Amino acid sequence: MSAPSSERKAVLITGASRGIGRATAVLAAERGWDVGINYARDAAAAELTAQAVRDAGARACVVAGDVANEADVIAMFDTVAAAFGRLDALVNNAGIVAPSMPLADMPLDRLRRMFDTNVLGAYLCAREAARRLSTDRGGRGGAIVNVSSIASRLGSPNEYVDYAGSKGAVDSLTIGLAKELGPHGVRVNAVRPGLIETEIHASGGQPGRAARLGAQTPLGRAGDAQEIAEAIVWLLGDTASYTTGALLDVGGGR
């Protein structure tokens, strides 16, 4: 039996229409959270996530918004907080990748789009969460989980050094913001997925990449979105109450 809505905490998950975001939304619902579901373009996919959240016994609030647009980010937080009467956590998951190529061949518009979404978007969402959750600003405390990547330490040469660099910025955000917000009741951590079977590889022009390279990891396989969701939801919850500033690799030992 699910907890009464008055007892359930609320989390906003960006990029929650598919993949890791969707898996995290559903698992969070199963673990007692009401879920704000942000998406950028695919409303139908976001509604499928929302239905799965409701089927798990939680409330869902679907909200469109571009994480790199300040007005959209503020409206997103306002909408979710109004829907649930509270906001306790953020999962900073929205991100993009682009076709594999060396840096020397990357056009400027690709770099701008990559850093607008993966860096500016992550920072804007984290900033808004800090403003609303920090006890020194009238909040009740809470948690932020940033979705980074082990690419931030591998570099992704000849493939996605722009993506790797953008996730390096997310790692730095995590470490610095954890120190800023720790005294004010907010824990900040990052999960760094490895080779995960999601649609993001297809958007990078390599739909079979996770399966192909996953066989070379110490665990001998790619991971799945559910395995990443488990790490994220753990970091959101009270059982991770002494964990902040952590960069948690979930990459099969890669």
Residue 155 and residue 103 in contact, taking contact as beta carbons nearer than 8 Å: no
Coil/strand/helix, residue 116 = helix
Q: How far is CA 247 from CA 34, 67, 107, 188, 189, in A?
A: 25, 22, 30, 10, 6
Give the chain's end-to-end CA distance (angstroms, integer). 39
Catalytic choice (123, 160, 163, 242): 163
How far is 96 from 115, CA to CA, in rounded Å? 9
- Does the annotation mark 39 as catalytic? no
What are 218-223's contacts with CB under 8 Å, separation 24+?
A: 218/252, 218/253, 218/254, 219/252, 219/253, 220/252, 221/252, 222/194, 222/195, 222/196, 222/197, 222/252, 223/193, 223/194, 223/195, 223/196, 223/197, 223/250, 223/251, 223/252
Phi-psi region of 19 (alpha: psi -120 to 50; beta: other; left: phi over 0): left
Residue type, 37: I
Tokens, residue 219: 């665990």
Active site residues: 163
